[in-house]
Amino acid sequence: MTNTVNRQIQLSARPANYPKESDFDLVESPVSEPREGEVLVKVIWLSLDPYQRGRMRASHPYATPMELGQVIVGGVVGKIVQSRTPAFTVGEVVEGPLGWQEFAVSDGNNLRRVDAGLGPLSTALGILGMPGMTAYFGFLEIGQPRPGDTVVVSAASGAVGQVVGQISKIMGCRTVGIAGTAEKVEYLKSGLGFDAGINYKTENVDAALTKVCPLGVDVYFDNVGGVITDAVFDHLNVGARISICGSISQYNQDEPEPGSRKMGLLVGKQARAQGFLVGQFRNQHEEGRQRIAGWIKEGRIKYREDVVEGLENAPGAFIGLMRGENFGKLLVKISEE
C-alpha cells in the first residue's frame, strides 16, 4: 500500500448551538496496521447525518457521546486493502461505522459486505443504507399507512423524508411534504410525485395544511419537532399515527424548547405518537433493502444525493446540513472507487 498517512476529522470542542469549523480538527497520523483478526479499510464514501450532532453533546439519551479528540462517528463505504482474517478478503467492499477518516482498522464485527448489484456504492449509505431503512421501517411499521390515508412528511427533501414520501405514494396515500425552499418543494411534487408541498419558511404551515389536507392528517412522519410538529397536531384525524424519527429543529439548541403543549390532542384524537430507532429493526434490514432496490429498478422510487469531495470539506458540509442547506442525501467522496 502506497499511502502511509491517515487523515482524520476529530472533535476539538463541543458545539454551542450550531457547529462551527473550529469545533473540528483535521489531523494526520500514520495508517494503522491491522493485527491478527483485523482488516484495514480504505474509505471511499462518508455519510453525514443529523444524528451525529447529538453525539457531539456531553450526554446523549441512547448512544455514547463522542469524546474530545475522538474521530467523528459516521458510516462509511470502503474497500478492504489489508486483511488478517479469513472472514474478509482484499478488494471486498464493506459498509460500517468507521468514522470521518481516510483509513480505518476493524475486527469486522461492525462491517457489512456491500452488494454492488443493488446499486452504486454510495447508495449503501443512503437509499439502501441507514436513511432508507429508517424511512422504510419507521413509516411502514410505526406509521402503518393504509390506502387513502393522508400522510404528511417533515424535512421531506432530506435523505429519509424523500424515501418516506415515495413509499407513501406506493402504498396509495395522499402525500404532503414540508421543506424549506421553493426548489425543494417543487422537486417533491414534480420529481418525486408528492401530491402537495409546503415551504415552511415562506408559508404559514397551519393555514397551508388546512388547504392541502382538507380531510385531515392520518400519518405524520416527524423529522423536525418544534413548531412545525405543533402545527401538524392541529390537523390530526381520529386514530392518527405519528412516527417520531427525529427533532432536527432542536439539535443545535443548548437548551431545547419546552415540549409541545399539544400532546393532549392525542387523547381526544385517540392518536398514537411513537419514537423508534432504526437499529430495532436490524434483523429485518435486508428485507427492506431488497424491497427498496426492487422499487428503484421498477422506477417507482428515485433518490437524490448531495456530494462534496474531500475529507477536509466534511465539517463545512455538516454545518450546512444542520442549517438545511443540503438537498438529498449528504455524502463526502473520500477516494475513488
237-258 pLDDT, tens per residue?
Answer: 999 999 999 876 565 555 566 6
Pairwise CA distance, residues 134 & 101, whole Å: 25
| Domain assignment present for 296 | no
Residue spans of beta strands (DSSP E) within 12-149? 24-30, 39-47, 76-83, 93-96, 103-106, 112-113
Whether the predicted pLDDT of 62 surpasses 90 = no
**Cβ contact 136:270 at 8 Å:** no
pLDDT digits (tens, 9 = 90+) for 283-320: 999 999 999 999 999 999 999 999 999 999 999 999 99
Average pLDDT (110-128) is 97
Identify any residues that bridge with 329 across adjacent strands, giving them in sequence order.
305
Whether the predicted pLDDT of 261 surpasses 80 = no
Considering the domain architecture, whether residues 245 and 161 belong to the same structural domain is answered as yes
**Cβ contact 194:175 at 8 Å:** yes
| Domain assignment present for 293 | no
The residue type at 12 = S
Considering the domain architecture, whether residues 225 and 118 belong to the same structural domain is answered as no
Whether the predicted pLDDT of 337 surpasses 80 = yes
| Domain assignment present for 285 | no
Average pLDDT (257-280) is 87
| Domain assignment present for 298 | no
pLDDT of residue 1: 61
pLDDT of residue 29: 94
Residue 190 belongs to what domain range?
Answer: 130-279
Considering the domain architecture, whether residues 242 and 272 belong to the same structural domain is answered as yes
pLDDT of residue 4: 87
Considering the domain architecture, whether residues 314 and 241 belong to the same structural domain is answered as no
Percent composition of the chain: helix, strand, coil (DSSP 3-state, to 5): 30, 25, 45
Considering the domain architecture, whether residues 165 and 260 belong to the same structural domain is answered as yes
* Residue 104 belongs to domain with CATH number: 3.90.180.10
pLDDT of residue 10: 98
| Domain assignment present for 58 | yes
Considering the domain architecture, whether residues 136 and 253 belong to the same structural domain is answered as yes
* Residue 152 belongs to domain with CATH number: 3.40.50.720
Number of domains in the chain: 2
Whether the predicted pLDDT of 259 surpasses 60 = no
Average pLDDT (168-176) is 99
